[in-house]
Amino acid sequence: MSAAPHKITDIFSREEIKQLTTRSDLMGWWAVLSTWAIIAAAFASVGWASQYLNALGLVLVILLALMVLAGRQLCLAIMMHDAAHGTLFANKRLNQTIGTWLCAKPIWNDLTHYRPYHLQHHAKTSSDEDPDRCLIADLPTTKRSLTRKFTRDLVGLTGLKFLVGRLLMDLEILQWSVTNNIEKLPQQHRSLLSYPIAFLKNSYGMLITNSVLFVVLASLGYAWLYGLWVLAYITPFPLFIRIRNMAEHACTQRSSHMFDNTRTTHAGWLARATVAPLRVNYHREHHLMAGVPYFNLPVMHHMLLAKGVIDNPPNYVDVLKIVSAKSLNN
């Protein structure tokens, strides 16, 4: 690999940049609708299994459905992320409207809050001012510690903690964040009535979208399937988020240069179904040009390889080895 260039125009021509950053409403709709189709298929599979399979078969289908649902919940988060950059759709209004109502709100997130928060991450990547820095600051760690983290995720402790945090944020007791850096907001002179008002103001979108999902399932005679949506949200979903965060920035150099502070990770079909939906594994490419839509990130990656600017990336197993390489004696 040659020395890393300092400007994107040192790598790509203006024509190449224009081609790479061209957005598409059609591809945006494909991402959103195919994600919800997979979610519907996961629910349908469990509904079918409850009618025709024995208890063991049903349990196996439910476990698979939880993985699929959690992977698609992460995909909704990634589409919200892309909408925040204005790249999910070519149309600005579609980015805001669809990014809010079909991506962010069903997973209790907020595009309007997320956008300035995330742009700060891009501007200050790996510095003390990076709001995402706390997600990977304690890495590398030991294999034992990493196993404990994964166990907390899978048994729901991380997810329950997140739900409580989100509730307190929507009550405006805590400042909005998607990380562990939580700040309390002043509560002096607040009336008791201000708390439910704040909750409804901040959570109405989540309540509406999740109510619609519940009503649809109930109208089909499978109201209980909504419980799988919640269970996926508090169990595999936090684990997938953790691994994705590790892959993107953990154990990279604390540098202002995006070739040093960000990592692209090779994703096979299993990773794409779980921790790396919508080409999010091409994270170095995304930080180099945040205006590139998801479907052009692989194109950009292969162009960088062809130009000799980057090497072949590690896979997710390689990343887990890197982040758990700390010795027990250290």
Compute the Cα dihedral for 45, 50, 54, 59 and give only its sign: positive
pLDDT for 5 beyond 70: no
Structure tokens that stand for 50 in this block? 């409850």
For residue 15, the model assigns a pLDDT of: 97
CA distance 41 to 47: 10
Q: What are the CA-CA distances from residue 19 to residues 72, 93, 290 (Å)?
A: 28, 22, 14
- Assign 205 to helix, strand or coil: helix
Structure tokens that stand for 312 in this block? 């072949």
- Residue 41: CA count within 13 A, CB half-sphere: 10
CA distance 325 to 330: 11
Query: Above pLDDT 70, what percent of the chain?
Result: 97
**What's the pLDDT tens digit per position in 241-266?**
999 999 999 999 988 888 899 999 99
pLDDT for 12 beyond 60: yes
For residue 6, the model assigns a pLDDT of: 63
User: Would you list the domain boundaries of the chain?
Assistant: 8-159+217-323
For residue 258, the model assigns a pLDDT of: 82
For residue 179, the model assigns a pLDDT of: 77
Q: Give the mean model confidence (pLDDT) for residues 118-142.
A: 92
- Assign 222 to helix, strand or coil: coil
Residue positions counted in the chain: 330
**What's the pLDDT tens digit per position in 51-93?**
999 999 999 999 999 999 999 999 999 999 999 999 999 999 9
Which residues make Cβ contacts (< 8 Å) with residue 50, sequence separation at least 6?
A: 58, 222
CA distance 262 to 283: 7
Structure tokens that stand for 278 in this block? 């919508």
